[in-house]
């Protein structure tokens, strides 16, 4: 009989715990939630702001702070945040204490197009609108803008972004034609004629060898153009 009573007590205790947990979970789910916490990952320069993300969510879903927690679908919020043209990826989740958080990785511009329309090229070669909150310090692309020349410009920009010297010194790309890409440097007056985008590694190696020698000879300011489009040689045009 003692064993039976002890067993019954344990079962009753378990049922009470389960009931209390279920009641607390339901009550917690019905509580109104606060605003979503926005966390930007990686980039210090914000092309998007917390205020802009919250405004986008309000436009699509209404005010979140008045919603019951169980009425908020995380996937829906995630898709809305990712719909921003400034967002690369977004992850939305709840913390243990019930707070709603969105971690956002922004797209990264590597070049800025200045033509009939103005926009960025991002790190994946896709068009990205300019931001009202921040202007990226990236090379400016001008001249003959077509889908083909934009693809070529992306190849050049991607190469430049991987090289410390070029990333700091190349401030512009002027497109004369599909086989004439001219680089403008931050300090030097001459332009660098790459020709086409073929064999970029070889061309930039030739340029660096020329640059080191010309800097040593103090002759950099005597040139108007440095052409790399010919095989195995650097052709310089003097001022």
- Name the range with the highest mean pLDDT among 2-16, 35-49, 55-69, 110-124: 110-124
CA angle 85, 89, 95 (to 5 degrees): 125
pLDDT band, very low/low/confident/very high, at 17 (cuts 50, 70, 90)? low
* pLDDT value for 26: 45
Average pLDDT of the segment spanning 15-30: 50
CA neighbours within 13 Å on the CB side: how many for 104? 31
Residue of 145, 138, 141 lying closest to 174 (CA atoms): 141
Which residues have CB under 8 Å from 147's CB, separation 6+?
A: none
- Report pLDDT digits (tens) over 77-86: 899 999 999 9
Mean pLDDT over 193-217 rounds to 94
What are the chain's domains?
37-106 (3.10.20), 138-238 (3.40.50.11690)
pLDDT interval class at 165 (50, 70, 90)? very high
Report the pLDDT value the prediction gives residue 124, as an integer from 0 to 100: 95
pTM above 0.85, yes or no: no
- Cβ count near 28 (within 10 Å): 12
Q: Is 91 left (phi over 0), alpha (psi -120 to 50) or beta?
A: beta
Band (pLDDT 50/70/90 cuts) for residue 62 is confident
For residue range 31-56, list pLDDT tens digits in order: 445 568 889 988 667 899 988 998 88
Look at residue 3 in the predicted model and tell me its pLDDT.
Answer: 55
- Residue 200 token pair: 């970029």
Q: What are 118's strand-pairing partners?
A: 114
pLDDT confidence of residue 199: 93
pLDDT band at 140 (very low <50, low <70, confident <90, very high): very high
Dump strand ranges (E) for the chain.
37-41, 87-94, 100-106, 109-114, 118-122, 127-128, 140-143, 170-177, 180-185, 191-193, 223-227, 235-238
pLDDT over 80 at 108, yes or no: yes
Contact 153, 111 (CB under 8 A): yes
Say if residue 71's pLDDT is above 60. no
């Amino acid at each position: 009989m003692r064993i039976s009573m002890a067993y019954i007590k344990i079962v009753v205790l378990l049922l009470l715990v389960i009931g209390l947990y279920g009641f607390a979970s339901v009550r917690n789910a019905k509580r109104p939630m606060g605003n979503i916490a926005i966390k930007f990952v990686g980039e210090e320069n914000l092309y998007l702001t917390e205020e802009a993300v919250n405004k986008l969510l309000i436009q699509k879903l209404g005010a979140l702070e008045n919603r019951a927690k169980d009425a908020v679908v995380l996937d829906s919020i995630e898709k809305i945040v990712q719909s921003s043209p400034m967002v690369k990826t977004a992850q939305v989740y709840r913390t243990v204490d019930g707070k709603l958080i969105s971690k956002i990785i922004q797209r990264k511009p590597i070049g800025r197009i200045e033509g009939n329309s103005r926009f960025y090229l991002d790190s994946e070669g896709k068009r990205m609108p300019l931001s009202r909150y921040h202007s990226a310090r990236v090379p400016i692309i001008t001249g003959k803008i077509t889908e083909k020349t934009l693809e070529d410009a992306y190849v050049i920009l991607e190469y430049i972004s991987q090289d410390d010297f070029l990333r700091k010194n190349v401030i512009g790309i002027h497109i004369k034609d599909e086989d004439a890409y001219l680089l403008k440097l931050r300090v030097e007056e001459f332009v660098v004629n790459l020709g086409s985008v073929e064999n970029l590694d070889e061309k930039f190696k030739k340029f660096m060898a020329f640059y080191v020698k010309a800097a040593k000879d103090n002759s950099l300011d005597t040139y108007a153009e440095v052409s790399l489009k010919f095989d195995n040689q650097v052709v310089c045009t003097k001022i």
